[in-house]
């Protein structure tokens, strides 16, 4: 059986303080806001473009942030530069930078503790 999935439409993190999270993802991580829905006390939603996919944040009465959910890995151009900037912004490092042989990665947390990975693929040898 197949339901015909074509792609991941978006990934979303629940947040407790929408404006704080919006500032984190825009100003600290540097993502481009592509959509945001209403201000006020009701449900809130924002979408950021990440290479043609969407990373979203949302706030509703039923959604709770969690350190135990799925993790989004953000591919960066300059791994060491990204880590330096995150440390300077006092972003919580949850997993120190490591080299796996095929990539470099580190874990961070947004202001609600939602997990993110900062990731940089290493060039791979051409297969024969």
**How far, CA to CA in Å, does 12 sit from each of 9, 64, 109?**
10, 12, 14
Residue 105's nearest CA partner among 88, 114, 90, 117 is 117
Residue 14 binned pLDDT confidence (cut-offs 50, 70, 90): very high
CATH superfamily of 11-121: 2,3-Dihydroxybiphenyl 1,2-Dioxygenase, domain 1 (3.10.180.10)
pLDDT at 105 over 80: yes
**0.75 surpassed by pTM:** yes
Mean per-residue pLDDT, 50-57: 91
Q: How far is CA 1 from CA 4, 5, 6, 9, in A?
A: 9, 11, 15, 21
Question: Looking at residue 127, what is its pLDDT?
Answer: 67
């Amino acid at each position: 059986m197949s339901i015909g999935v074509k792609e991941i439409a978006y990934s979303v993190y629940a947040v407790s303080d929408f404006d704080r999270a919006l500032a984190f993802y825009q100003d600290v991580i540097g993502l481009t806001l592509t959509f945001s829905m209403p201000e006020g006390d009701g449900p809130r939603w924002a979408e950021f473009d990440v290479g043609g996919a969407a990373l979203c944040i949302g706030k509703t009465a039923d959604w709770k942030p969690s350190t135990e959910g799925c993790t989004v890995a953000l591919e960066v151009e300059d791994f060491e530069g990204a880590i330096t900037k995150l440390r300077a912004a006092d972003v919580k490092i949850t997993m120190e930078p490591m080299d796996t042989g095929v990539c470099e990665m580190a874990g961070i947390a947004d202001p609600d503790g939602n997990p993110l990975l900062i990731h940089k693929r290493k060039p791979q040898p051409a297969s024969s």
